[in-house]
Amino acid sequence: MPSLVLASSSPYRRQLLERLNLPFEWAAPDIDETPLPGEAPEQLTLRLAEAKARALIEHYPTHLIIGSDQVLLLDGQPVSKPGNHANALEQLRRCSGKSIRFLTSLCLLDSASDTARSIVEPFEVVFRQLDEATIERYLLAEQPYDCAGSFKSEGLGISLFRALRGDDPNSLIGLPLIRLCDLLAEHGIQIP
């Protein structure tokens, strides 16, 4: 079985990959994540997922390298991780009663053959109407300032939603495990 490497500094992605009970290494890729002029969100996330994987190819020349990237769209516009309480408060105010869309890209790069397979996994989150007190209680409880959309769907963030729509809820956290299992199977890695 080829050795696996996760091209990510995200502890959330590492936790997701650990669910598959496969041995893997991880390393933080050093890439420029600036969108190109006129680049559509889907193209951006695909490009960055592959760039993250390719950034590690020199150090892992005979591995399967997993790259992933995510774009959150609110009112059709990309939204960043909030970084602090004030920004998270504003993001959740804007999300209240609306649907937001996540585009999570996955790239599996076989560094030995220099071949890559990539997919984009869409996922929609429909928010309840959120009042200020609910938003404040949530933010104080989970402090999701390093999470796109200012919530943790695997935690109390689930209480903010009216509906979830998509094939793989893991894509909300940043790594579409269902599609990853498909791509790994193409390389002879069976799970479980």
Catalytic residues: 69
CA distance 3 to 69: 21
Burial code (b: 16+ CB inside 10 Å, e: under 16) for 26-65 equals: bbebebeeeeeeeeebebbbbbbbbbbbbbbbeebeebbb
Other CB atoms closer than 10 Å to residue 109's CB: what's the count? 26
Q: What is the dihedral of CA 149, 33, 61, 117, to 10 degrees?
A: 60
The residue count for the chain: 192
CA 32 to chain centroid, in Å, comes to: 17
From first CA to last CA, the distance across the chain in angstroms is: 14
What element of type H or E holds 107?
A: strand 99-110
